[in-house]
C-alpha cells in the first residue's frame, strides 16, 4: 500500500450515500487512525469507542446504511407520501412560509431548490397534514385560458409576504461542470482523496433522493386511480447507490400485487371473478396500461412535458420530462429483472465502500471521454461499466466482493426468485456475507482497473459476475458481458468494435498517466491559484489518444514528442512500474 488510509464513514443517507473520508498520510490529518472498516464489517464487530467518539456514530450509521433496499425504499415512500411540492417566489420569506405550513401540522423536513423557478419540497410528520393542506388549496382563476381540474400534490404559493431578507438556500440538484470538478480534484492531496471528492460531488444527495421518491409518489397517485394496489418505485441509478446527481429517474409500475391474486376457490364451489379486458400477451397488457398512463400524464399532469410512448421497445416505456423536479423520467411496467439487478448492485455497493468509489470514478471518467453517452447507440452503458467494475473487484486477490453464485448459495428460502424462467435468487441478509480481508487503496484499485481492462482478452472471453471468472464467449460480439440474471443475454450487445477499441485505448492511456511522475503526483494548490491537473483530474481531461486518433483521421499530422512516447508505451502494453 502506497498510502495508509483513515476511513471515517458517515452513511449520511439511508440510500447508501456514503461520505467516506480518506486522508493521505502526508496530508492535513490531525489524528491518524487506521480503521479496519472492512474487517469490522465482515465480522460484525463494532469499533470500541468512548462516548462522543465519532466512530460510535459511524458504526451506527454504517449499520443503518446496510438495511435492505426494500426497507430503505419503504421508508422513502412513506416520506414521499407525507410530502408536497410547492412552487415559491424567489423572495418568499422562509420563516413566514414555515409558519403558514405549520397550521397544517409539523414539518419534519423541507428544502428549497431551483428548477424552472424556485420550489420547496415539504415533508410533514403526518399524512393528515397533506390532506389538510390540499383541503385549503384553491383552483386558480385564469383569464384567456382554461385549466384541467386534475389535482395533485404540486402546488403554488401565492401572495406570501416577500418582505425581509431572502434567506433561502438552494439545494443543488445537478453536478458541477467537469471543468470545475477537475479544478477541485487538482487541489486534493492524494488520488484516494480525489476519488472520494469526485464521489461526494457526483452522488445523489439526501434531498435529491427525496425528490425522486416524491415524483414516483405523485405518479403513483395518478396510476393508483386505476390500479389501487399498484406501486411505482424508482429503480436503477436512482436507488442502486451509483446514481449521479441529475441522472434519469427510472420508475417501475409494479402490478404484481394485483395480478397475483388468482382465483383460489375449489372448482366445485361457486365464486365470483372480475370481468377483465383481455389481451393476447402480457406485453400487450403492459402496452395498454402505459398508453393510458401516458395519455393521462400528457393531458393532465402539471409540469409533465415531452411525453413519449415508446411502446414497441423490448421493454415498453413511457418517457417524459417532469419540470418541477427537472427529472427525465422513464416508466416501465413489470420489469422485475431490472428491479433484481438494482437490488444486486445496491448490495454490492453496500458490501464495501470502495465499490461505490470505484464505480463513480470509472463512470465519471467514461462520461468525460464519451465512452458512455445519454444518447442510445453503440456506446458502453453505465450498467455494463458497473458490471465491469464489479467483475474487476471479484478478480482481486483476495476478492473484494463475492461472486453472484456465492450470493445465491447464501440465499434463504425467502430469497428464492424466478422471473420468467430466470433464477434471480441471491441472499438479502447482508450479515450472512463474509468478506475477505483485502486492504488495497482506491489509488491501487484505480490503476489496476485500467491495467486489467487495457489487457483483457475481449476477443475470446466473456465477463461474468455470476462466476467471478472470465468465460469463453458464447457468441460473436466485440464486448460480451453476461447479463447477471438473464444469462443468455449479453448486456453489451450494442457495443461495436470501435467503441470497445476506444475504451481499451483510454484504459491504456489512463494506466500510463497514473504511472508518470508529472501526472500522478500532487502539484499543490495552496495560494488559491489553479494547480495543474494531476492524478484523477488528469484522467478526466480530454484524451490525448482520442485527440491523436481524430487528427490522424483528418490529416495524419505528426504527433508531438510527448504523445509519441505515450503511444509507444501503449504499444508495449507492459508498462514499467511506477517508482
- Binders of a copy of itself among residues 182 to 241 (CB under 8 A) are 222, 225-227
Quote the CA–CA distance of 253 and 179 in Å, as a whole number.
38
> Closer to a copy of itself at the Cβ: 103 or 578?
103
Quote the CA–CA distance of 16 and 64 in Å, as a whole number.
9
CB of 302 to a copy of itself, least distance (A): 4
**Contact residue for a copy of itself among 165, 268, 397, 577 (CB under 8 A):** 268
Q: Look at residues 8, 53, 2, 47 and name the one whose alpha carbon lies nearest to residue 24.
A: 2
C-beta of residue 316 within 8 angstroms of C-beta of residue 283:
yes
> Closer to a copy of itself at the Cβ: 13 or 325?
325
Interaction between residue 157 and a copy of itself (CB under 8 A): yes
- Binders of a copy of itself among residues 519 to 558 (CB under 8 A) are none
Interaction between residue 146 and a copy of itself (CB under 8 A): yes
CB of 138 to a copy of itself, least distance (A): 4
Interaction between residue 122 and a copy of itself (CB under 8 A): no
Interaction between residue 163 and a copy of itself (CB under 8 A): no
Interaction between residue 169 and a copy of itself (CB under 8 A): no
- Binders of a copy of itself among residues 78 to 107 (CB under 8 A) are 86-87, 96, 100
Quote the CA–CA distance of 514 and 499 in Å, as a whole number.
22
Stretch near a copy of itself under the rule CB under 8 A, chosen from 136-144, 185-193, 519-527, 546-554:
136-144
What is the layout of strands, in order, in the sheet containing 304-310? 231-235, 249-254, 327-333, 317-322, 304-310
Task: Determine which helix (DSSP H) or strand (DSSP E) holds 389, and give its type and residue range.
Answer: helix 382-394
CB of 291 to a copy of itself, least distance (A): 6
Q: Tell me the number of residues near a copy of itself by CB under 8 A.
A: 71
Neighbours of 405 (CB within 10 A): 13
Which residues lie below 8 Å from residue 114, measured CB to CB, with a gap of 6+?
170, 173
CB of 332 to a copy of itself, least distance (A): 16
> Closer to a copy of itself at the Cβ: 306 or 474?
306
Q: Is the dihedral of CA 288, 238, 437, 457 positive or negative?
A: positive
**Contact residue for a copy of itself among 105, 303, 353, 522 (CB under 8 A):** 303
Q: Look at residues 287, 139, 318, 111 and name the one whose alpha carbon lies nearest to residue 209.
A: 111
- Tracing cell 431548490 back to the chain, one arrives at 113
Which residues lie below 8 Å from residue 333, measured CB to CB, with a gap of 6+?
252, 253, 254, 255, 286, 289, 290, 316
Interaction between residue 295 and a copy of itself (CB under 8 A): yes
Stretch near a copy of itself under the rule CB under 8 A, chosen from 298-306, 446-454, 456-464, 570-578:
298-306
**Contact residue for a copy of itself among 28, 50, 139, 457 (CB under 8 A):** 139
CB of 506 to a copy of itself, least distance (A): 45
Quote the CA–CA distance of 59 and 190 in Å, as a whole number.
25
- Binders of a copy of itself among residues 458 to 497 (CB under 8 A) are none
Distance from the Cα of residue 92 to its chain's centroid? 33
**Contact residue for a copy of itself among 160, 178, 419, 435 (CB under 8 A):** 160
**Contact residue for a copy of itself among 48, 50, 163, 272 (CB under 8 A):** 272
Task: Determine which helix (DSSP H) or strand (DSSP E) holds 295, and give its type and residue range.
Answer: helix 282-300
Interaction between residue 151 and a copy of itself (CB under 8 A): yes
Measure Cα distances from 53 to 20, 21, 94, 243, 518 in Å: 16, 16, 35, 31, 39
Q: What is the bridge-based pairing of β-strands 327-333 and 249-254?
A: parallel
Interaction between residue 154 and a copy of itself (CB under 8 A): yes
Stretch near a copy of itself under the rule CB under 8 A, chosen from 14-22, 269-277, 464-472, 493-501:
269-277
Interaction between residue 28 and a copy of itself (CB under 8 A): no
- Binders of a copy of itself among residues 313 to 352 (CB under 8 A) are 324
Stretch near a copy of itself under the rule CB under 8 A, chosen from 135-143, 236-244, 410-418, 506-514:
135-143
Residues 44-83 vs a copy of itself: string with x where CB under 8 A?
Answer: ----------------------------------------
Stretch near a copy of itself under the rule CB under 8 A, chosen from 23-31, 273-281, 339-347, 447-455:
273-281
Quote the CA–CA distance of 288 and 294 in Å, as a whole number.
10
Quote the CA–CA distance of 564 and 355 in Å, as a whole number.
34
Task: Determine which helix (DSSP H) or strand (DSSP E) holds 114, and give its type and residue range.
Answer: strand 107-114
The gap between the terminal CA atoms of the chain, to the nearest Å, is 13
**Contact residue for a copy of itself among 48, 51, 136, 576 (CB under 8 A):** 136
Amino acid at each position: 500500500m502506497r498510502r495508509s488510509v483513515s476511513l471515517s464513514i458517515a452513511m449520511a443517507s439511508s440510500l447508501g450515500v456514503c461520505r467516506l473520508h480518506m486522508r493521505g498520510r502526508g496530508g492535513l490529518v490531525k489524528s491518524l487512525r487506521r480503521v479496519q472498516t472492512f474487517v469490522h464489517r465482515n465480522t460484525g464487530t463494532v469499533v470500541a469507542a468512548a462516548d462522543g467518539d465519532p466512530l460510535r456514530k459511524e458504526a451506527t450509521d454504517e449499520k443503518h446504511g446496510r438495511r435492505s433496499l426494500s426497507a430503505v425504499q419503504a421508508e422513502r415512500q412513506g416520506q414521499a407520501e407525507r410530502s408536497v411540492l410547492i412552487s415559491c417566489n424567489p423572495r418568499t420569506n422562509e420563516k413566514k412560509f414555515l409558519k403558514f405550513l405549520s397550521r397544517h401540522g409539523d414539518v419534519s423536513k423541507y428544502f428549497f431548490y431551483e428548477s424552472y423557478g424556485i420550489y420547496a419540497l415539504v415533508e410533514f410528520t403526518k399524512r393528515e397534514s397533506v390532506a389538510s393542506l390540499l383541503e385549503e388549496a384553491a383552483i386558480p382563476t385564469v383569464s384567456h385560458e382554461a385549466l384541467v381540474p386534475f389535482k395533485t400534490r404540486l402546488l403554488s404559493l401565492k401572495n406570501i409576504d416577500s418582505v425581509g431578507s431572502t434567506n433561502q438556500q438552494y439545494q443543488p440538484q445537478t453536478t458541477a461542470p467537469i471543468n470545475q470538478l477537475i479544478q477541485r480534484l487538482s487541489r486534493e492531496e492524494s488520488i484516494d482523496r480525489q476519488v472520494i471528492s469526485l464521489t461526494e460531488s457526483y452522488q445523489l444527495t439526501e434531498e435529491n433522493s427525496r425528490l425522486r421518491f416524491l415524483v414516483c409518489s405523485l405518479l403513483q397517485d395518478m396510476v393508483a386511480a386505476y390500479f389501487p394496489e399498484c406501486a411505482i418505485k424508482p429503480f436503477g441509478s436512482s436507488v442502486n447507490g451509483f446514481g449521479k446527481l441529475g441522472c434519469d429517474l427510472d420508475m417501475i409500475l409494479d402490478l404484481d400485487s394485483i395480478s397475483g391474486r388468482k382465483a383460489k376457490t375449489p372448482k366445485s364451489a361457486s365464486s365470483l371473478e372480475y370481468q377483465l379486458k383481455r389481451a393476447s400477451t402480457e406485453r400487450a397488457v403492459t402496452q395498454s396500461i402505459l398508453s393510458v398512463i401516458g395519455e393521462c400524464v400528457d393531458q393532465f399532469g402539471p409540469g409533465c412535458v415531452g411525453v413519449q410512448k415508446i411502446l414497441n421497445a423490448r421493454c415498453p416505456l413511457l418517457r417524459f420530462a417532469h419540470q418541477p423536479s427537472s427529472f427525465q423520467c422513464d416508466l416501465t411496467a413489470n420489469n422485475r429483472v431490472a428491479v433484481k439487478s438494482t437490488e444486486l448492485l445496491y448490495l454490492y455497493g453496500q458490501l464495501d465502500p470502495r465499490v461505490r468509489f470505484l464505480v463513480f470514478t470509472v463512470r465519471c471518467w467514461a462520461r468525460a471521454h464519451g465512452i458512455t453517452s445519454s444518447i442510445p447507440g453503440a456506446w458502453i452503458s453505465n450498467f455494463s461499466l458497473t458490471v465491469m467494475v464489479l467483475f474487476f473487484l471479484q478478480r482481486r486477490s483476495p476478492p473484494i466482493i463475492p461472486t453472484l453464485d456465492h450470493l445465491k448459495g447464501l440465499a434463504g428460502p425467502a430469497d428464492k426468485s424466478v422471473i420468467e424462467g430466470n433464477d434471480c435468487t441471491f441472499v438479502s441478509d447482508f450479515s450472512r456475507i463474509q468478506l475477505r480481508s483485502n486492504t488495497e487503496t482506491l489509488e491501487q484499485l484505480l490503476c489496476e482497473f485500467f491495467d486489467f481492462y487495457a489487457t483483457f482478452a475481449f476477443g475470446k472471453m466473456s465477463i461474468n459476475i455470476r462466476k467471478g471468472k472470465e468465460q469463453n464467449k458464447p457468441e460473436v460480439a466485440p464486448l460480451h458481458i453476461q447479463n447477471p440474471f438473464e444469462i443468455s443475454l449479453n448486456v453489451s450487445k450494442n457495443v461495436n468494435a470501435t467503441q470497445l477499441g476506444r475504451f481499451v485505448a483510454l484504459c491504456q492511456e489512463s494506466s500510463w498517466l497514473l504511472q508518470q511522475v508529472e501526472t500522478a503526483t500532487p502539484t499543490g494548490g495552496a495560494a488559491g491559484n489553479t494547480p495543474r491537473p494531476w492524478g484523477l483530474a488528469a484522467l478526466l481531461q480530454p484524451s490525448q489518444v482520442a485527440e491523436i486518433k481524430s487528427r490522424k483521421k483528418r490529416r495524419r499530422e505528426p504527433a508531438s514528442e510527448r504523445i509519441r512516447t505515450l503511444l509507444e508505451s501503449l504499444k508495449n502494453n507492459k508498462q514499467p512500474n511506477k517508482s
